[in-house]
Amino acid sequence: MFSYSTSFFLSLLFFSVTLSHVVGDKIFTGTYGVNYGRIADNLPSPESVVTLLKASKIRNIRIYDADHQVLSAFKGSGIGIIIGLPNEFLRDISQGEDRAMNWIKENVQQFLPGTRIRGIAVGNEILGGGDMGLWQVLLPAAKNVYTALSRLNLAHQIQVSSPHSEAVFANSYPPSACTFRDDVLPFMKPLLQFFSQIGTPFYINAYPFLAYKNDPQHIDINYALFKKNAGIYDAKTKLHYDNMFMAQIDAAYAALEKVGFEKMEVIVSETGWASRGDDNEAGATVKNAKTYNKNLKKLLLKKKGTPYRPKMVVRAYIFALFNENLKPGPTSERNFGLFKPDGSIAYDIGFTGLTSSATSTFLSFKGIGSLCFMVSTSCAAFLLLVAL
C-alpha cells in the first residue's frame, strides 16, 4: 500500500515541468496516427495488425484498453501506443495510488521497454457525458496514475491524458466564440491545471462528419470535406477557415485561452468519416469517407498549424483502423474503418494494405494462431524491407 503524500506530489509536479517537452516529443512521431478499436469478431490478429501498420508506415496508434495480446504483439515494432484506462475502472483507480500502481504494474510496466507505450488515456469522453459520478473521479484517477508512474520512474516517458468530446463546449461557432459549458467548467479547469503542470496537451475528438450529419441543411459538405468552398470568416480574429476540421481545433484553442491555458497544445484524439450509415445519416458514403480521409492525410503531412495557432503543428489520430461490426448504435458507428478485416484497403487514400489482386495473402484471425502469409517473392521482399 502507498500513502498519498502532498509534498511528494508537489515535488513530482516541479520535476515534471522540466520534462514536459521531452515527453511530448516522444508521444507522437510525426503528425499522423490511427485508433485501433476492436469491438468486432472478424478482425485480424494483433500480429497481423502490426504488419499492416508497418506496411502503411503508420507509427502512432491508440487503443481503448490495455489488452495483453495486443501489447505483446507490438513488442519490438517501434510503433508508439497510447493505451486506455477504461471508464469502468476510474472509480476504483481514484480511490488510491495503490490501485493505480497495481494496474500499471500489471498492464504497463511488464511490457516495457519492448512495447513503446507512450501514454495512458484515463477514461474517454468523461466530461460532458451522462455519468456525472465519473466527472468527479476523473481528476483523482489521473493524479493517482501519474503519481504511480512517477514512483516507477516512468512519468518521463509515459504521458497521462484524457480525451474529450465536443460536448464539453457550450458553443463552437465561430471558433473565437467557443467556451466550455458552465456545468463542465468546475471539473475541466482543475483538470487543465493538472495537465498543464505535467505537460499534457488537450485531446479532443473532433468530427466534421457528426456536425454535418446533424445539420446538413446549414453546413456545406465541401467545407466539411476539405473541398473548395467559400469557407467562414471569424470577425473577431479576422481569420478565414476553408475547412471545419481546422475551425474545430481553433475553437478548442479559443476555449482554452478563455480559462487561462493559451499555451496548451491541442491534439485531435479521434476524427474520421463513416463510409456507410442509416437513411437519416447524411453524408455517410464511401466517396465522402475517401475524400475526407485522403484530404486530411495530405493536410497532416504538411506539418502546419491552424489559422489561430500557426506555429502549433496539427496532429491527429484517425478513427479508425477497421470497421467494428459489433459496435452498438447507428450504422455509421460500425463503418469508420480505413481497412477491411483481410488487410486490404476499404478505399484508396494512399495506403497499399496487405492484399491486392496480384497478391494472395492470408491473415490469421483472433483465436486461430500466428500470422501466415502466402506471398510472391517480390511482396515478401517488400515486407522485409518495411520491417527493417
**Residue pLDDT, tens place only, 172-200:** 999 999 999 999 999 999 999 999 999 99
What pLDDT does residue 76 have?
98
Q: What is the mean pLDDT of residues 296-325?
A: 97
Question: How does pLDDT run across 45-73, given as a tens digit for each residue?
Answer: 999 999 999 999 999 999 999 999 999 99
What is the rounded average pLDDT for all residues in the chain? 89
Q: All 3 cell numbers of residue 254?
A: 479559443
Q: How wide is the angle at C-alpha 27 spanned by C-alphas 23 and 33, nearest 5°?
A: 165
Q: Which CATH superfamily is domain 23-339 in?
A: Glycosidases (3.20.20.80)
Q: All 3 cell numbers of residue 67?
A: 489488452
> Cβ atoms within 10 A of the Cβ of 297, count?
17
pLDDT at residue 325 greater than cutoff 50: yes
Per DSSP bridges, beta strands 80-85 and 60-62 are parallel
Catalytic residue among 166, 270, 281, 324: 270
User: Cα separation of 353 and 370, whole Å?
Assistant: 19
Question: Which residues are CB-neighbours of 157 under 8 A, at least 6 positions away?
Answer: 23, 26, 118
What pLDDT does residue 370 have?
38
Question: How does pLDDT run across 71-127, given as a tens digit for each residue?
Answer: 999 999 999 999 999 999 999 999 999 999 999 999 999 999 999 999 999 999 999
Element (H, E) at 292: helix 286-301
pLDDT at residue 242 greater than cutoff 70: yes
Question: Which residues are CB-neighbours of 210 under 8 A, at least 6 positions away?
Answer: 166
Question: Which residues are CB-neighbours of 343 under 8 A, at least 6 positions away?
Answer: 44, 48, 52, 353, 354, 355, 361, 363
pLDDT at residue 9 greater than cutoff 70: no
Q: What are φ and ψ of residue 270, in 5° steps?
A: -150, 135
User: Cα separation of 205 and 326, whole Å?
Assistant: 21
Q: What is the mean pLDDT of residues 29-53?
A: 97
CB 295 within 8 A of CB 225: yes
User: Cα separation of 61 and 80, whole Å?
Assistant: 6
pLDDT at residue 312 greater than cutoff 80: yes
Q: In the annotation, is 125 catalytic?
A: yes
pLDDT at residue 219 greater than cutoff 60: yes
In the structure, what pLDDT confidence band is assigned to residue 327 with cuts at 50, 70 and 90?
very high
pLDDT at residue 372 greater than cutoff 90: no
**Amino acid letter, 241:** Y
Catalytic residue among 47, 97, 125, 166: 125
Domain boundaries, the chain: 23-339
pLDDT at residue 21 greater than cutoff 60: no
> Helix (H, G, I), strand (E, B), or coil: what is residue 173?
coil
Q: In the annotation, is 270 catalytic?
A: yes
Instruction: Name which of 271, 276, 129 is nearest 209 in CA terms.
Output: 271
User: Cα separation of 166 and 170, whole Å?
Assistant: 9
Question: How does pLDDT run across 124-158, given as a tens digit for each residue?
Answer: 999 999 999 999 999 999 999 999 999 999 999 99
Alpha helix segments (H runs only) across 74-216: 90-93, 97-107, 132-151, 185-198, 208-214
What pLDDT does residue 374 have?
35
Global model pTM greater than 0.85: yes
